């Protein structure tokens, strides 16, 4: 046996021993690797268990030539060719050379077969492999071939064809579902899908049959990877089917096209075209147009080598961009790190760069930056919004309720409008203008929209329409302070949103910007800018219009419609001594009807006895007829005109009606949302069970 061939084959087998065969579920991976090794060794025709056994499976060694064979062959050659002049010794030498060639090929094939047999012994579970070997030795005492060995392993460990097909279907469906998950990379997913697809082709499952397999694939990749491409492909397929045009593309073609598109997007889109902090509506085409305009304005200056006091410019003495556009220099001077800078300079280099910047050599640069600000290459990651009504609509207004309630002496249960629902926030983190009421728009400007949403955190809000909003006399004008209107176009309407929003990014398109030093809205350059409007900073938020609502349910709430829970804040009484357990609790004097509501509509007689059996409760009883809810519950005749309602069954339905009416009354009286009906029913039932009907 050739030692080199054997060593090479054994080395290949050792690299693949990670795949084990112990269970039927591992058969496919193990058998696939075996088939790959056998085909690489050109032995698959001797191993394939699906083929019948052949005489050459045992790899018989070639026989050496004899002198009799040489003489017989010489006689046949002379008979066919009389002029043949070779002797028997010459023919024997030719046969021996042919024998040595066959013997070398036989040894090579035998070494490869030995390597595969060794790989099988290392990967198959030992006890199972030993049992299979003993069974084969009994059936074939003279020896068994590799094909017989693989057939024995297959009969013991291979699953049925139906189970393998079902497992393939499960893996393929799981791969399609993985495409809809977040943080799934398209290139890695495509590689996984390609493996699942090839396995599905082997078992011919129906999930890849056309056209349903194509539709499932496009739905999967259209969920997150490339919705536009998938939607266009589905539209083309549907259009061709309606016109009777046959689709000539296969599922493999769509997969290859998707991989090519994702690969192109991966290398074409650079890091500059990313999502910015304001998440404004801006397309790549606008960025390209801006770059072209910038190059036109700079002309040949952009192609010149510019010096810069930053560490990179000092070492190489030049930049491809102007010094005022240098992000590294801006980060050093302003002491803010730009996330686009991968390798920030060391502290010593930063100190030297700052000294160079403050030297007389760069006096003109300092004057330019003080007058015009830092260049576009060093701007913070803010993007100005566009007028497009679709895509890129985000809202990031964050309100801390604890800050709003810091000075409130009471805790109020109320489901009215949000306290800031009439106020207008001026936010840098919003990509669009929005209002929470259609009445805030100009009459006749409202138009309905469909399929548009605004994302706020992990929640999406439906945009019901858009229009124009005019904030009357809010800006400073030529006629004096607060004499000019602010007109906002393309304002989104989100009903019942907690606050109205004016996007600072969109105002910046028109030259207006926020000065955080004095909380003002300004227009124009940094030093020559004029103040358009003063802003109001409340609750850690900047407001363009601050119109807070009272946190109370109403100024003078009707007694039978709301419940106010008075709770003095502990932080407001930090200087007072807390009540000890030996001190009697404070007397609670409330109206009799309010206590009737608190007790879950307690019966009149039981309500009269409530002050006797409780402490610090003082009130007089109320008649049942004075409570509308109780009168409806205990009415002797209830008028109902609902269709298909059978006759009342007596006390059982009467009790159920009482719980339903009490629950609805508790929700409406406390101004709680209707989706809390399960809790209110349980509370009404609990109060009913612990309360006596009579005193």
Q: Tell whether 416 and 510 lie within a shared domain.
A: yes
Q: Which one is predicted more confidently, 188 or 79?
A: 188
Count structural domains, the chain. 5
Residue ending a domain, among 109, 133, 157, is: 157
**What is the pairing mode between strands 453-456 and 424-427?**
unpaired
Q: Between 347-358 and 363-372, two packed helices, what is the crossing angle to 10 degrees?
A: 90
User: Does residue 107 lie within any of the structural domains?
Assistant: yes
Q: Which one is predicted more confidently, 681 or 373?
A: 681
Burial of 603 (0-12, 13-18, 19+ CB in 10 A): buried
Residue ending a domain, among 106, 137, 157, is: 157
Contacts of 655 (CB under 8 A, 6+ apart): none
How far apart, in whole angstroms, are the C-alpha atoms of residue 420 and residue 436? 11
Write the pLDDT tens digit of every residue in 256-275: 899 888 888 776 654 433 33
Write the pLDDT tens digit of every residue in 195-239: 889 888 888 888 888 888 899 999 998 888 888 888 888 888 888
Contact call for residues 34 and 150 (beta carbons, < 8 A): yes
If you average pLDDT over each of 394-403, 471-480, 614-623, which comes out highest? 471-480
Q: Tell whether 54 and 96 lie within a shared domain.
A: yes
Contact call for residues 594 and 602 (beta carbons, < 8 A): no
Q: Tell whether 180 and 323 lie within a shared domain.
A: no
Q: Is the pLDDT of residue 87 over 60?
A: yes
Q: Tell whether 506 and 436 lie within a shared domain.
A: yes
* Confidence grade of residue 469 (pLDDT, cut at 50, 70, 90): very high
Q: What is the model's pLDDT at position 403?
A: 52
Q: Tell whether 165 and 148 lie within a shared domain.
A: no
DSSP per position, 133-177: HHHHHHH-TT---HHHHHHHHHHHHPPPHHHHHHHHHHHHHHHHH
Q: Tell whether 62 and 174 lie within a shared domain.
A: no
Q: Is the pLDDT of residue 646 over 70?
A: no
DSSP per position, 215-268: HHHHHHHHHTT-HHHHHHHHHHHHHHHHTTPPP---HHHHHHHHHHHHHHHHHH
Q: Tell whether 101 and 200 lie within a shared domain.
A: no
Q: What is the model's pLDDT at position 609?
A: 73
Residues 505-520 have a mean pLDDT of: 86
Q: Per the structure block, which two tokens stand in for 654?
A: 């009467």
Q: Per the structure block, which two tokens stand in for 143?
A: 């020896």
User: Does residue 557 lie within any of the structural domains?
Assistant: no
Q: What is the model's pLDDT at position 585?
A: 67
How far apart, in whole angstroms, are the C-alpha atoms of residue 77 and residue 84? 7
* Confidence grade of residue 550 (pLDDT, cut at 50, 70, 90): low
Q: Tell whether 370 and 352 lie within a shared domain.
A: yes
Q: What is the model's pLDDT at position 268?
A: 62
User: Does residue 616 lie within any of the structural domains?
Assistant: yes
Q: Is the pLDDT of residue 25 over 90?
A: no
Burial of 256 (0-12, 13-18, 19+ CB in 10 A): middle
Q: Tell whether 310 and 219 lie within a shared domain.
A: no
Q: What is the model's pLDDT at position 564?
A: 38
How far apart, in whole angstroms, are the C-alpha atoms of residue 193 and residue 217? 10
User: Does residue 614 lie within any of the structural domains?
Assistant: yes
User: Does residue 643 lie within any of the structural domains?
Assistant: yes
Q: What is the model's pLDDT at position 560?
A: 41
Contacts of 632 (CB under 8 A, 6+ apart): 638, 661
Phi, psi of 396 (to 5 degrees): -135, 35
Q: Is the pLDDT of residue 651 over 70?
A: no
Write the pLDDT tens digit of every residue in 346-367: 888 888 888 888 888 888 888 8
Beta strands in 516-554 (DSSP E): 520-523, 530-534, 536-538, 541-545
Cα dihedral 403, 407, 409, 413 sign: negative
User: Does residue 104 lie within any of the structural domains?
Assistant: yes
User: Does residue 569 lie within any of the structural domains?
Assistant: no
Residues 431-446 have a mean pLDDT of: 89
Contact call for residues 286 and 273 (beta carbons, < 8 A): no
Q: Tell whether 119 and 134 lie within a shared domain.
A: yes
User: Does residue 384 lie within any of the structural domains?
Assistant: no
> If you average pLDDT over every residue of the chain, what do you get?
75
Q: What is the model's pLDDT at position 592?
A: 72
Residue ending a domain, among 108, 132, 157, is: 157
Q: Tell whether 426 and 511 lie within a shared domain.
A: yes
* Confidence grade of residue 10 (pLDDT, cut at 50, 70, 90): very low
Q: What is the model's pLDDT at position 201?
A: 87
* Confidence grade of residue 470 (pLDDT, cut at 50, 70, 90): very high
Q: Tell whether 9 and 102 lie within a shared domain.
A: yes
Residues 584-594 have a mean pLDDT of: 69
Domain span holding position 647: 589-690
Q: What is the model's pLDDT at position 278?
A: 35
């Amino acid at each position: 046996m050739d030692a080199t061939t054997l060593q090479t084959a054994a080395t290949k087998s050792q690299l693949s021993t990670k795949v084990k065969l112990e269970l039927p579920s591992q058969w496919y991976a193990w058998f696939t690797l075996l088939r790959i090794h056998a085909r690489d060794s050109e032995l698959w025709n001797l191993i394939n268990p699906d083929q019948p056994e052949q005489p050459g499976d045992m790899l018989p060694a070639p026989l050496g030539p004899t002198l009799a064979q040489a003489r017989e062959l010489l006689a046949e050659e002379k008979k066919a060719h009389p002029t043949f002049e070779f002797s028997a010794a010459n023919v024997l030498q030719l046969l021996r050379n042919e024998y040595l060639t066959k013997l070398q090929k036989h040894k090579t094939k035998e070494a490869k077969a030995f390597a595969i047999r060794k790989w099988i012994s290392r990967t198959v579970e030992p006890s199972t492999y030993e049992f299979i070997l003993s069974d084969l030795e009994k059936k074939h005492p003279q020896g068994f071939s590799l094909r017989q060995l693989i057939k024995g392993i297959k009969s013991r460990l291979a699953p049925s064809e139906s189970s393998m097909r079902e497992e393939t279907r499960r893996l393929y469906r799981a791969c399609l579902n993985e495409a809809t998950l977040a943080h799934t990379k398209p290139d890695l997913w495509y590689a996984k899908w390609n493996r699942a697809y090839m396995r599905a082709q082997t078992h011919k499952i129906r999930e890849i049959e056309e056209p349903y397999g194509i539709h499932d694939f496009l739905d999967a990749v259209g969920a997150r990877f490339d919705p536009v491409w998938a939607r266009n492909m589905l539209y083309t397929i549907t259009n061709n089917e309606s016109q009777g045009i046959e689709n000539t593309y296969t599922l493999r073609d769509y997969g290859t096209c998707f991989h090519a598109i994702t690969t192109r997007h991966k290398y074409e889109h650079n890091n500059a075209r990313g999502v910015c902090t304001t998440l404004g509506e801006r397309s790549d085409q606008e960025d390209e147009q801006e770059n072209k305009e910038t190059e036109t304005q700079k002309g040949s200056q952009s192609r010149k080598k510019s010096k810069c006091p930053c560490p990179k410019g000092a070492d190489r003495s030049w930049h491809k961009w102007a010094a005022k556009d240098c992000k590294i220099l801006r980060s050093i001077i302003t002491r803010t790190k730009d996330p686009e800078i991968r390798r920030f300079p060391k502290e010593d280099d930063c100190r030297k760069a700052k000294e160079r910047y403050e030297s007389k050599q760069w006096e003109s640069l300092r004057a330019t930056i003080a007058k015009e600000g830092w260049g576009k290459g060093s701007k913070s990651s803010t993007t100005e919004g566009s007028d497009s009504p679709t895509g890129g609509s985000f809202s990031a207004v964050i309100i801390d309720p604890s800050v709003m309630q810091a000075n409130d002496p009471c805790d109020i249960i109320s489901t009215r409008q949000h306290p800031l629902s009439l106020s207008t926030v001026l936010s840098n983190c919003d990509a669009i203008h929005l209002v929470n009421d259609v009445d805030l728009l100009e009459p006749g400007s409202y138009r309905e929209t469909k399929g548009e949403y605004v994302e706020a955190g992990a929640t999406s809000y439906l945009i019901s329409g858009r229009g124009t909003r005019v904030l009357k006399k809010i800006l400073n004008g030529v006629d004096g302070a607060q004499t000019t209107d602010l007109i906002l176009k393309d304002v989104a309407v989100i009903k019942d949103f907690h606050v109205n929003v004016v996007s600072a990014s969109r105002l910046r398109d028109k030259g207006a910007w926020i000065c955080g030093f004095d909380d003002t809205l300004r227009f124009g350059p940094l030093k020559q800018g004029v103040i358009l409007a003063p802003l109001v900073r409340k609750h850690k938020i900047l407001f363009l219009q601050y119109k807070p609502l009272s946190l109370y349910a109403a100024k003078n709430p009707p007694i039978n419609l709301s419940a106010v829970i008075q709770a003095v804040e502990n932080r407001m009484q930090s200087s007072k001594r807390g009540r000890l357990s030996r001190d009697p609790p404070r007397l609670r004097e409330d109206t009799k009807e309010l206590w009737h509501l608190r007790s879950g509509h307690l019966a009149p007689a039981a309500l009269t006895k409530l002050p006797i059996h409780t402490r610090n409760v003082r009130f007089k009883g109320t008649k049942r007829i004075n409570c509308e809810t109780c009168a409806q519950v205990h009415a002797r005749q209830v008028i109902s005109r609902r269709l298909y309602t059978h006759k009342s069954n007596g006390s059982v339905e009467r009790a159920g009606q009482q719980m339903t009416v009490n629950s609805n009354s508790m929700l409406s009286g406390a101004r709680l949302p209707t989706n809390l009906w399960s809790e209110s029913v349980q509370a009404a039932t609990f109060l009913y069970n612990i309360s006596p009907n009579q005193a």
